């Protein structure tokens, strides 16, 4: 799996290629605010935004997602990501499962909903999935992260 630096470099190259390929493409449309756009303007804007983000002195924010049954993997990933210079957002408790904590169904759902806000705050999501396991809540979080156009990485290749 490519490192974060390699992924960023590849994204920069892809956005630059897209900007070059779409220059002069004439299809134009207006958005809801009446601003005119072309493929080139969108690609150029994406490149400028990506460079602003990548060149920012601010660290990446990574949200860890996965089953609470993998507490040791969560702790290892949290430390690894922190040592890589990232800010890490994670579960309310990764020391015990929801059942072991004695949480009610309402409390579990409340924590799950708040975890979606953490995904909103993150630049990318790291799915903790030893053995390829992905439970229902994690599937929901992955679907949400996809809807929000977040970069998603997996501890274990999800293919």
Please, which residues bridge with residue 63 across strands? 89, 125
CATH architecture entry for 61-154: 3-Layer(aba) Sandwich (3.40)
The residue length of the chain stands at 159
Look at phi and psi of residue 85 and say left if phi exceeds 0, alpha if psi is from -120 to 50, else beta.
left
Average pLDDT, the chain: 77
pLDDT bucket at 65, cuts 50 / 70 / 90? very high
Q: How far separated are the first and last CA of the chain, in Å rounded?
A: 12
Residue 110's pLDDT is 81
- Token digits for 76? 């290892």
Residue 22 CB burial class (10 angstroms; 0-12, 13-18, ≥19): middle
* Residue 43 near residue 19 (C-beta atoms within 8 A): yes
CA dist 24 to 29, 31, 44, Å?
A: 14, 19, 12
Give the Cα separation of 98 and 145 in Å (integer): 22
Residue 28's pLDDT is 66
Residue 68's pLDDT is 80
* Residue 126 near residue 64 (C-beta atoms within 8 A): yes
The verdict on pTM exceeding 0.75 is no
What are the extents of the domains in the chain? 4-54, 61-154
Residue 2's pLDDT is 62
Residue 143's pLDDT is 92
Q: What is the pLDDT of residues 1-55, one digit of tens each?
A: 666 666 666 676 676 666 666 566 566 666 666 666 666 666 666 666 666 666 6
Q: What is the pLDDT of residues 82-132, one digit of tens each?
A: 888 889 998 766 655 556 667 788 877 887 788 899 999 998 899 999 999
């Amino acid at each position: 799996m490519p490192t974060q630096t390699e992924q960023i470099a590849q994204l920069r190259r892809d956005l630059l290629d897209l900007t070059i390929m779409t220059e002069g493409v004439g299809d134009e449309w207006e958005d809801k605010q009446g601003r005119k756009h072309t493929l080139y303007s969108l690609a150029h804007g994406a490149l400028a935004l990506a460079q602003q983000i990548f060149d920012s002195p601010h660290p990446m924010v990574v949200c860890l997602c996965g089953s609470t049954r993998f507490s040791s993997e969560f702790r290892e990933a949290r430390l690894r990501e922190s040592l890589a210079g990232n800010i890490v957002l994670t579960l309310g408790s990764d020391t015990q499962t929801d059942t072991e904590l004695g949480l009610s169904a309402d409390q579990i759902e409340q924590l799950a909903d708040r975890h979606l806000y953490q995904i909103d705050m993150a630049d990318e999501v790291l799915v903790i999935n030893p053995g390829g396991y992905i439970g229902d809540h994690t599937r929901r979080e992955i679907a949400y992260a996809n809807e929000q156009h977040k970069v998603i990485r997996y501890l274990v290749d999800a293919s």
